[in-house]
């Protein structure tokens, strides 16, 4: 549910800035392995993935691999006025694009790796995250990075919080099972390509 009326917001595109779809495709052409997809996530995937989030209990939401912000806008619409969204992406072009197109006092775009989430969360004045969302292409990340990200994510989430993961391959679950005992699963066919959805809860 949209809940913020007080936070300063502007989710518009200044003249000369490409559309999200065009920008995403440019990013894919430049870094195909790191981006891992040619078009952004569908609205149906976004709604289903964010469905179980308890927004009233969310003060810090972290997103890995926001790309052009497909999830950032719906997250900001649902987030409380005093909550924060930190979006972390290794792609400097995407971070610049987010900074140009999303001006919301609750939003922070960070150029960096999800593997450094604990330091990034600390640097922004928090000691844990309530929810972490990942659109990272886990299976094509450089060796060792996927397991390191999964371990750091488990450490940074508060008890009762969750790691939300969407991915084209069910292999991503192998990264979650060493850390999370309770993992819910669903699929979204209305996405290119169809996606596996996981909600890994921290007990």
Ligand X SMILES: C[S@@+](CC[C@H](N)C(=O)[O-])C[C@H]1O[C@@H](n2cnc3c(N)ncnc32)[C@H](O)[C@@H]1O
Q: Which residues bind ligand X (CB under 6 A)?
A: 34-37, 40-41, 64-67, 70-71, 88-91, 94, 113-115, 135-137, 141, 145
Q: How far is the CB of 55 from ligand X (least distance, A)?
A: 19
Query: What is d(CA 14, CA 126) in angstroms, rounded to the nearest whole number?
Result: 32
CB 100 within 8 A of CB 78: no
Q: How far is the CB of 146 from ligand X (least distance, A)?
A: 9
How many other C-beta atoms are found inside a 10 Å radius of the C-beta of residue 34? 17
Q: How far is the CB of 66 from ligand X (least distance, A)?
A: 5
With respect to ligand X, which residue has the nearer C-beta, 46 or 83?
Answer: 46
Q: How far is the CB of 5 from ligand X (least distance, A)?
A: 26
Nearest to 119 by CA among 155, 75, 72, 162: 155
Residue nearest to ligand X (CB): 65
With respect to ligand X, which residue has the nearer C-beta, 4 or 90?
Answer: 90
Structure tokens at 139: 């299976």
Kindly list the distances between the CA atom of residue 126 and the CA atoms of 31, 45, 62, 194, in Å, as whole numbers in the listed order: 31, 29, 11, 35
With respect to ligand X, which residue has the nearer C-beta, 4 or 70?
Answer: 70
């Amino acid at each position: 549910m949209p809940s913020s009326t007080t936070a300063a917001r502007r989710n518009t595109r200044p003249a000369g800035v490409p559309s999200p779809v065009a920008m995403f495709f440019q990013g894919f052409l430049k870094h195909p392995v790191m981006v891992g997809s040619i078009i952004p996530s569908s609205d149906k995937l976004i709604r289903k993935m964010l469905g179980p989030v308890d927004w009233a209990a969310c003060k810090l939401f972290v997103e890995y691999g926001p790309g052009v912000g497909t999830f950032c806008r719906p997250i900001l619409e649902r987030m409380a006025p005093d909550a924060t969204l930190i979006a972390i992406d290794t792609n400097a072009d995407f971070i610049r694009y987010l900074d140009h197109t999303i001006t919301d006092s609750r939003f922070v775009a960070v150029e960096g790796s999800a593997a450094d989430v604990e330091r990034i969360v600390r640097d922004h004045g928090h000691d844990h995250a309530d929810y972490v969302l990942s659109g990272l292409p886990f299976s094509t990340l450089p060796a060792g990075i996927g397991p390191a990200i999964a371990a750091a994510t488990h450490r940074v989430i508060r008890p009762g919080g969750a790691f939300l993961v969407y991915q084209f391959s069910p292999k991503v679950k192998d990264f979650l099972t060493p850390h999370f005992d309770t993992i819910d699963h669903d699929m979204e066919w209305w996405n290119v390509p169809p996606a596996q959805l996981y909600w890994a809860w921290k007990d």
